[in-house]
Structure 1
């Protein structure tokens, strides 16, 4: 700022007023200061300015587990569409489903003085998120509820959606239904497995451990897992996949098999682009992932406006838990 003022032959205070668009500065002076700033490549440090004025940094941290999954890009768009209305910018960090990486990322966001954090936790151990709340940083969880502390959260009806999709397969005559899902530590996968098991129990069927494969995080792993299930002596006649990555992998395993009629039926959680173009009957559990992000953004914005002591729930503002509904869609039927 001093360099800009010196080049424009004005005081540092006048240069500051020009760059704050103070209308009291004469037009000729404004032109000289702006020309000096442009010549020097000067950019205001908005973070430092906000902190000096007693405001936050204007940044919101979004912590996700797998940026390769399109679900998280839609979630991020939903979050950003809301917080941008409050003049906030979204900073996205990927943990790769690794708890240590998540701890480091949250600590880094706190050190950078973000105004709030929206997190998709990788595991049930959430002490680092509880610590963030204790330090005065509002936290909202998405896709997984808080463990060991109070925080707002937005969830998908994982249990109900999986139960409905599995029931649809049973209604079509299937009794041997395989399940493909992520590692057991993933809350959504656990809830969807619970819904799958409940649908079987509703019809007097027992889940067969041989048909349950957990741990797949990308389509290649899911293809291998589906291929292994379909190679069993009495293979499943249908597969339910607990996320889009597993559904895509399962499709690749089924595609080389004989034409529909003898090939296994396929159902999955999460709608995805080109699902209607696969040329295979496909039942998917759909929901608005953008809305999941929008709700998370609204919850965080509300908490930031009326944060209570330590960043926790504001006085008179109870913790909120919002569940986004699901529906079944059919492709290629």
Structure 2
């Protein structure tokens, strides 16, 4: 059937949107029949259903899902809220796309928001999504405790935590072995001969940052290397801050010969500083998190890669199970990251480097 776009009237006024009553009149059925068809309810034969859909198409009718949800207490909104730290960051953006791809087939749309490590912002957005009757929430929390979600969880709202575990609430989660990833990265640098290994980390109390710092320390201790607190810098929040920190570290009397960057924006800032200093081929660098074009810089960046698509697939699987009525005990999925070798992490310390 050919659909013709409705044009504004001669006076330039915007025409009113077609209503369910208009569709019923054109299809020659009752408003209740139209309601059954557009809401996917039984009670209308195939021929009637096709007639209603054809009338709706001809009139450019758009169903008001929000209104029907308010009328039907058991109805779903078709919306899943995804509260991530920064949808502009490549990790969060990749995770969001993976969620969209996995949930679209189930007729669900993803409404995303950035939390920016602000607990109050998190609570406000959660309250807004609950008021809008979101079918479920995917949460990369900024808050440290999550008891405030207990009432919604008990009421049946599916909650899946991602990247960070829930605290004060036992619900589903999908995380990565951050400790193991950082330990493997640091051990890789140690195996290449490095003893002066710096680490730049995120905010002091972010769970993933704590775990990555612990992995770094575990590898240093296991190798019998004396820990130098000057080489572990936390609360690095931007590319610019990372570049400034690396520049200061390179100016030490005994500078690092290798760097572990605790997240992707820190890696980018570290690359800028090393390139500015002319040391991009002399100081080894391993980043936590892969990102687009990390393989195109020279040398290619060695990274601890989190499989973002698998993370999104696991989150979606659990969420769809809950929406399908699963009452199984909470699942706590921990995925293993992988070390991707591209060159920057395989640079060996120069002959001038001190051994300790």
Correspondence 1:99-114 to 2 at 5 A:
99-114=119-134
Aligned partners of 2:333, 2:233: CA distance in 1, in Å?
30
Aligned partners of 1:242, 1:18: CA distance in 2, in Å?
52
Correspondence 1:151-166 to 2 at 5 A:
151-166=171-186
Task: Say how many residue pairs are matched.
Answer: 320
Aligned partners of 2:105, 2:208: CA distance in 1, in Å?
30
Query: Could you state the TM-score of these two structures normalised by the residue count of structure 1?
Result: 0.87
Q: What is the Cα deviation at residue 81 of structure 1?
A: 2.6
| 1:222 aligned partner | 242
Bigger helix fraction: 1
Q: What is the Cα deviation at residue 22 of structure 1?
A: 4.7
| 1:149 aligned partner | 169
Aligned: 1:25 with 2:48: yes
Aligned partners of 1:281, 1:9: CA distance in 2, in Å?
66
1:241 is matched with which residue: 261, 273, 276?
261
Q: 1:34 to 1:54 in 2, by over 3 A?
A: same
1:268 is matched with which residue: 262, 271, 287?
287
Q: What is the Cα deviation at residue 243 of structure 1?
A: 1.0
| 1:310 aligned partner | none
290-299 or 212-221, larger mean C-alpha shift: 212-221
Q: What is the Cα deviation at residue 169 of structure 1?
A: 0.9
Listed one character per residue, the Cα deviations across residues 196-250 of structure 1 (whole Å, up to 9, x for unaligned) are 0000000112332211221222212211222222222322111101111111110
Q: Secondary structure at the match of 2:92?
A: helix
203-212 or 1-10, larger mean C-alpha shift: 1-10
| 2:215 aligned partner | 195
Give the gaps of 5 or more residues in structure 2. Answer: 1-19, 347-356
| 2:62 aligned partner | 43
Correspondence 1:285-304 to 2 at 5 A:
285-304=304-323
Contact 2:150-2:169 within 8 A present in 1 as well:
yes
> Which protein, 1 or 2, shows the higher relative CO under an 8 Å CA cutoff with sep ≥ 6?
1
| 1:311 aligned partner | none
| 1:96 aligned partner | 116
Q: 1:10 to 1:132 in 2, by over 3 A?
A: closer
Listed one character per residue, the Cα deviations across residues 93-149 of structure 1 (whole Å, up to 9, x for unaligned) are 111111111111111111111111111111312233334313321111111111011
1:323 is matched with which residue: 334, 344, 351?
334
188-197 or 17-26, larger mean C-alpha shift: 17-26
Aligned: 1:305 with 2:336: no
Q: 1:13 to 1:175 in 2, by over 3 A?
A: same
217-226 or 246-255, larger mean C-alpha shift: 217-226
Aligned partners of 2:297, 2:170: CA distance in 1, in Å?
43
Contact 1:74-1:289 within 8 A present in 2 as well:
yes
Correspondence 1:1-150 to 2 at 5 A:
1-5=20-24, 11-13=30-32, 15-16=34-35, 22-25=45-48, 30=51, 34=54, 38-39=58-59, 41-50=60-69, 52=72, 54-150=74-170
Aligned partners of 1:66, 1:318: CA distance in 2, in Å?
30
Give the gaps of 5 or more residues in structure 1. Answer: 308-313
Q: What is the Cα deviation at residue 271 of structure 1?
A: 1.5
Aligned partners of 1:282, 1:18: CA distance in 2, in Å?
54
Contact 1:242-1:269 within 8 A present in 2 as well:
yes
User: Over aligned residues, Cα RMSD in angstroms?
Assistant: 2.4
